[in-house]
Amino acid sequence: MPKSSKVTQREHSNEHVTESVADLLALEAPMDYKSSQMSMNMAGGGPPPIGKPDISPDLEDGRPAWNSKLEYILAQVGFSVGLGNVWRFPYLCQKNGGGAYLVPYFILLILIGIPLFFLELAVGQRIRRGSIGVWNYVYPRLGGIGVSSLMVCGFVGLYYNVIIGWSIFYFFQSFQYPLPWSDCPIRRNGSQAIVEPECEKSSATTYFWYRETLNITSTIADSGGLNWRMTLSLLAAWIIVCLAVIKGIQSSGKVMYFSSLFPYVVLFCFLVRGMFLKGAVDGIAHMFTPKLEIMLEPQVWREAATQVFFALGLGFGGVIAFSSYNKRDNNCHFDAVLVSIINFVTSILATLVVFAVLGFKANVMNEKCVVENAEKILGYLNSNVLSQDLIPPHVNFSHLTVSDYAEMYGVIKIVKEDSFAQLGLEPCLLEDELNKAGAVQGTGLAFIAFTEAMTHFPASPFWSVMFFFMLINLGLGSMIGTMTGITTPILDTFKIRKEVLTVGCCIVAFLCGLLFVQRSGNYFVTMFDDYSAGLPLTIVVILENISVAWIYGTKRQANSLTMLVKFMQDLEDMLGFRPSSIYFYLWKYVSPVCLIILISATVVEMAISPPGYNAWVQDLATERFQSYPPWALTMCFALIIVAMLPLPLVFIARHFNWIPDGSNKLSVSYRKSLAKEASNLEDETRFILGKNPSEAPSPMPSHRAYLGPGSTSPVELITNSTSISGYGSGYQTNPAPPKSES
C-alpha cells in the first residue's frame, strides 16, 4: 500500500476518532475501520469486523460521477478550447509581435494560468460542490463569489449562444454552389442590370454578413425588430444545448466525445489543405516573424494575461463544476497541466491554420490589386498620359507578375513624382495585404475574412460546411461548461430535477436572447462581450485566489498552521503526494500581484477608452465608431455592477448575520450521506473504544488535525443535525483519551 494512502496515514497517527469527524466535515469519506484490512489483521484478535460492502465514496454521497477519465478531460478541454482560440489568439499574436508574443503568453500561462486552473480544479474536487457551495465552504462571507460566477455565466451564455446561432445559419447556407457570399447580388433596373451598390463598395462576404445575415441597422438605438432567420437559428442553438446538458454529465460527457475531438480533425484538414495553397507559407512566415521591440511593451503583457485568463475559463464556475464530479483521489494536478498544454497547442494550431488561409487570401487580393492597377496603367498608356518608355521592355501585360508590377510602379513613381498622386496607383505590396488580413478578429475573421478565403478554395462548399460545423462544436463545448457552471450550484443548493432546471434555464435564456437577434442585436453582443465578463471575472478569480491562499481553513485548523499550508496538506491527502512548493508562492504572492496589475490595467483602459461600438453605415458601406447613447452607457455599467453586486451584498449580510452562512444549503444527496456516515460513525466509535489502545487502529498524523478544544463529542456533533450550521466553518473538539467501555 502506498505511503501516502489514507489507511497508512491513519496507522501512524497519534489522534483518535475525532479525525473521522474532521474528515466528514471536510467532505472526505471517513475510514471504515470495521471493513479495513488493518482491522482484520489486528494483533490480539478483537471482535470480528461487521460485514458491510465496501462502498465507493462517490456512491456514498450520491453525487454523479464521470463515466471515465477521458470524458472528464474532454469536457474540460471542450470548455477551455473555444472560439477565442480560433479568432482571438491569432489576432493578438499578429498584433503583438508575431512569434515574440508567444514568450509573454507562455510565461504568464506558467505564472497565473496553470496555478489558478489547478486551484479551481482542486477546490471543486476537494469540496465536491458547485461554485456557490465551494466558496460558502471556504469562507461564507465570500460566498458571493459563487453567485457572481453564476451571474457572469448567465450573461456570457446569453450572447455566446447567439454566435452558435450565426454559425448554424452559415452552416446551412454552405450547402449550395457557388456559395451565396461569393458574388455580389445583381439588381435589375428595367432592362439594366447593376451590382448592389452597398456590396460593390465593400465586398461580397461583408455584404452577406451585414445585410443578408444580420440585416443590421445603422445605430444601436434603432432596433429594427426581430430578424426571423437569426431568431430561428438561436432557437436551434438553444435546443442543441438543452439536449446536450439535460441529463447533466451523463449526457454532456457523451456529447464531448464528438464536440471536443471533431474541431481537431477539421483544423488538421485545414492545415494540410492550407499548406498546398499559394501564399500559405507567406502567411505563416508573417505570423511568426518576431518583432522583439513590441514584446517589451506593457500592453502586450496585459493582453497576453487577459488571453491566458479567458482561454482556460477561469472564474466561470464551469471548471469547478466539472471537477466536483471527480473521484476524491483523482490527480487534478496532472489534469491542470494537461488541459493547459492542450489549450496552448490548440491555439498554436489554430493560428497556423488561420494564417495559412489568410496568406492565401492575401496573395489572391494582391494579384487582384496588380491586375486592377495594370489596367489603369494601360489606360494611361493609350491616352498618352504615360509614355511607353516608362515600361521596362520585359514586362508583358498579359502575364504580369507581382515583381514586374513592382518594378514598373517604382519607375513611374520616380519619373512622375510631381503628378504621381493623381494617377491613383497602388503599390500592391503583399505585406500590406497580410497586415490587413491579420488585423481582423472575432466575427470579422470567421464570417468575413475566412469566408472570403474559402470562396477561392476548390470544392468551397465542402470546406465551408466543415469550418462552420467546427465553430458549432467549439461553441457547444464552451456552452456545455457554461451551462454546467449555472446548473450545478443551483442543483447543489435546491431540491429540483435537473431536467426541469435545464429546460427552464434554456427557455428563459432564449427569451432573453431575443435582444441579440434584433436587427441591432450585433451591437448588444459587442456590449455584453466588452462589459459583462472582463472586469467581474478578474475580480472573482482574485477573490478565489485570496480565499484559498489567505483564508482557507482559518476556523478548522489546529497547531497554528497557515491557511495555505492547510490547503497544501489537504491536497496531499487528496492526491496522495504533495504538490511542488512553487505553487505555495505562486498562489500566495505571484498570482494575486499579477491579477491586481491586470485589474488596474483593465480599469485604466476602460477609463481612457471612449465607450462605444462600430456601427455599420449602409450608405458608406463601412463601419464607423459611435459612442453609446446615455441609456446604453447605463446598461454597460449596469452589467458590471449586477455581476459584482453579490460580492458586497453577501459579505455584509453574513457579517451582520442577516442571512445564514449558506453552508447548510446541502444537496439532497449530501444530506443522505451525512445521515449514513453519522450512523457509521457511532458503530465505528463503539468498535474502536472497545479495544485496548494498543489494538485500536491509529488514526491520522498530528499535522492532519483540524479540530481544536472546546466542542462536544464527535458523535453528538454529527448525529445532532441541528448543530450542523455550516460544514464550511468547522468545529473544535478536545476529546479525552480512549477508554474501554464498561
Q: What pLDDT digit, counting tens, does each position of 404-435 carry?
A: 888 888 888 888 777 777 888 888 888 887 77
CB proximity list for 504: less than 8 A, separation 6 or greater? none
CB proximity list for 440: less than 8 A, separation 6 or greater? 91, 448, 449
Residue 10 clears pLDDT 70, i.e. is over it? no
Output the known binding site: 78, 81, 85, 343, 474, 478
Q: What's the CA gap between 128 and 149, in Å, rounded?
A: 17
Report pLDDT for 340: 93
Report pLDDT for 195: 82
Q: Give the residue with greater pLDDT, 154 vs 96.
A: 154
Q: Which residues pair with 189 in a beta bridge?
A: 192
Residue 358 clears pLDDT 70, i.e. is over it? yes
Q: What's the CA gap between 17 and 691, in Å, rounded?
A: 13
Report pLDDT for 509: 94
Average pLDDT of the segment spanning 660-686 = 48
**Reported confidence tier of residue 294, pLDDT bands at 50, 70, 90:** confident
Residue corresponding to grid cell 516573424: 289
Q: Which residues pair with 625 in a beta bridge?
A: 614
Structural domains in the chain?
Answer: 85-366+436-662 (1.20.1740), 367-435 (no CATH)
Report pLDDT for 376: 85
3-state secondary structure of 386: coil
By C-alpha distance, which of 168, 117, 17 is closest to 541?
117
Q: Give the residue with greater pLDDT, 39 vs 277.
A: 277
Report pLDDT for 693: 42
pLDDT tens-digit readout, 448-481: 888 888 888 888 899 999 999 999 999 988 898 8
CB of 204 closer than 8 Å to CB of 182: yes
Cβ contacts of 439-445, under 8 Å, gap ≥ 24: 439/91, 439/94, 439/95, 440/91, 441/87, 441/88, 441/90, 441/91, 441/92, 442/87, 442/88, 442/91, 443/87, 443/163, 443/166, 443/209, 443/522, 445/86, 445/87, 445/90, 445/91, 445/354
Residue 669 clears pLDDT 60, i.e. is over it? no
CB proximity list for 692: less than 8 A, separation 6 or greater? 44, 740
By C-alpha distance, which of 477, 441, 282 is closest to 350?
441
Q: How many CA atoms are closer than 13 Å to the CA of 122, on its beta-carbon side?
A: 30
**Reported confidence tier of residue 31, pLDDT bands at 50, 70, 90:** very low
Residue 687 to residues 13, 668, 691, 716: CA-CA distances in angstroms? 18, 29, 7, 17
Q: Which residues pair with 188 in a beta bridge?
A: 193
CB of 210 closer than 8 Å to CB of 519: no
Residue 162 clears pLDDT 90, i.e. is over it? yes
Output the known binding site for Na(+): 78, 81, 85, 343, 474, 478
Give the H or E element holding residue 454: helix 450-454
pLDDT tens-digit readout, 603-615: 888 888 888 888 9
CB of 533 closer than 8 Å to CB of 640: no
Mean pLDDT score of the chain: 77
Residue 653 clears pLDDT 60, i.e. is over it? yes
